[in-house]
């Protein structure tokens, strides 16, 4: 037989199952190493929730869009009111968008309503003050008139002084009809007419 026809000596094969064990070890190790490198909880979980600088998650509060719109309209209104001349305000108004103009208009209406409310309250306070002063003056005038009015008729001014009790309490018409003082009931000895300045 020719040398080519002779079969080459076969190499001893490794023990059955060794390649499988090695393969499984390699695969398991690579899987473990890859698994340990992956972030815990997943990147989507870590980056999905935005955190505030203090470490707490920021949750959108109710009405957040409305608060942002109010803040934006307030800032627009403040920038408009910061203008020193009418021309500057007109120039800034011309550069605003339609929705910005609508927001500024609503803010101005609210501000005008507040101004009118405060002005109404101020007028009411002033009116109450005037009415209170008028009532005090009227009451003082009435008290003065009552003090100077005749104690008998309460219409004419006191003008007769009774002696010797010296009570000035009646007008001239009523004094002519009494013989005793209406205040102390003393006998009237003399009636003196008083002249007020």
Per-residue pLDDT 10s for the chain (197 aa) are 444 444 444 444 444 444 444 444 444 444 444 444 444 444 444 433 344 444 444 444 444 555 555 555 566 677 676 766 778 777 777 878 888 888 888 888 998 999 999 999 999 999 999 999 999 999 988 888 888 899 999 889 999 999 999 999 999 999 999 999 999 999 999 999 998 76
**Which fold would CATH assign to domain 150-193?**
Herpes Virus-1 (3.30.40)
CA distance 29 to 57: 37
Locate the domains of the chain by residue range.
70-148, 150-193
Q: Please list, in sequence order, all residues whose beta carbon lies within 8 angstroms of the beta carbon of residue 184, skipping any fewer than 6 positions away.
A: 165, 167
């Amino acid at each position: 037989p020719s040398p080519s026809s002779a079969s080459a000596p076969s190499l001893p094969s490794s023990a059955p199952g060794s390649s499988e064990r090695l393969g499984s070890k390699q695969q398991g190790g690579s899987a473990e190493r890859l698994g340990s490198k992956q972030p815990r909880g997943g990147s989507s979980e870590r980056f999905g929730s935005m955190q505030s600088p203090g470490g707490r998650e920021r949750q959108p509060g109710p009405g957040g869009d409305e608060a942002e719109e109010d803040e934006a309209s307030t800032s627009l209104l403040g920038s408009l009111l910061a203008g020193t001349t009418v021309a500057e305000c007109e120039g800034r108004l011309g550069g605003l968008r339609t929705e910005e103009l609508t927001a500024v208009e609503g803010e101005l209406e609210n501000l005008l309503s507040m101004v009118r409310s405060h002005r109404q309250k101020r007028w009411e306070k002033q009116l109450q003050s005037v009415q209170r002063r008028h009532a005090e003056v009227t009451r003082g005038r009435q008290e003065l008139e009552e003090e100077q009015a005749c104690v008998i008729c309460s219409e004419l001014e006191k003008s007769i002084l009774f002696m010797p009790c010296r009570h000035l309490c009646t007008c001239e018409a009523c004094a002519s009809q009494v013989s005793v003082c209406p205040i102390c009931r003393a006998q009237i000895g003399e009636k003196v007419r008083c002249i007020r300045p």
